[in-house]
Structure 1
Amino acid sequence: MKNNKILTMIIIVLVAIILIGGIAVVLLTQFNKPAGSLEPSIDDIVKASVEVPEITTNLADNRVVRFSLTIQTSSKDAAEELTKRTFQVKNIVIQELSEMEQKDLEGKQGKQVFQKSLKTRINELMQEGEVQEIYFTSFITS
């Protein structure tokens, strides 16, 4: 009789452990799934982006660079703020380029360094959100 009670208790404990383990696995897999799509749609990106008109300026080595930018921000409000700050963005671009030579902008890496520098400087201005990406829509040096 005593052995039956012990066996019953062991079975109950094992079933409880298996159930708790199963529930834990289900909860962990459900909570680790991304909630919907975390990536913004292209329509959201366009709404949160600002086109900067073509800029032509001299480099430090007296070469000329001409390019256009599209700046992706974190929200529509940030894009509205950045639109108002376009004159400041152009000023930052001209200041940055005035210290660069054509060789600094060559290749993918040169352009990425320039984009990162612009992103950092522009984010220092922003009060409503931030710059997430900077895209060159045209780029010519001569």
Structure 2
Amino acid sequence: MDWKLENIILGVTDVDRAKEFYTQSLGFHLDVDHQASDDFRVVQVTPVGSGCSVTFGVGLNGAEPGATKGLHLVVEDIEAAYAELEGRGVVSSGIQHFDVATGGMAPGVDPEHRDFMSYVYLNDPDGNSWHVQEAHHKGAEG
């Protein structure tokens, strides 16, 4: 049996601001923006290439605004992803990598582009946090 995670509900304080951030700043695809009443609105967006969507709105059960931490977006090229984020004006940590020698984070991309070693950290306007993580880089030793 497959168990597929296909939707995550985020708490946000301003639906229009969140919609703009996810569609314009992060480039997610807008799937749904439906408002049945002043007490119910659902916005669903999906990262390009992802099978899992993100939903936020009014009258949804879910997390408090800013309470969702550590969501991961996986990319093949962390440098290209960072350049895209920077070009869209997204504030982030910059590229960091896990330094095996020190056991901590160091500036820049992992020199060998090993899977799950390079990151960019960012927050949405409410403080929900995202980790952009590199895996399956072409030419990487993995």
TM-score, normalised to structure 1's length? 0.25
Instruction: Name the larger-Rg structure.
Output: 1
- Which structure features the higher share of strand residues? 2
**Higher-RCO chain (CA-CA 8 Å, sequence separation at least 6):** 1
TM-score, normalised to structure 2's length? 0.25
- Which structure features the higher share of helix residues? 1
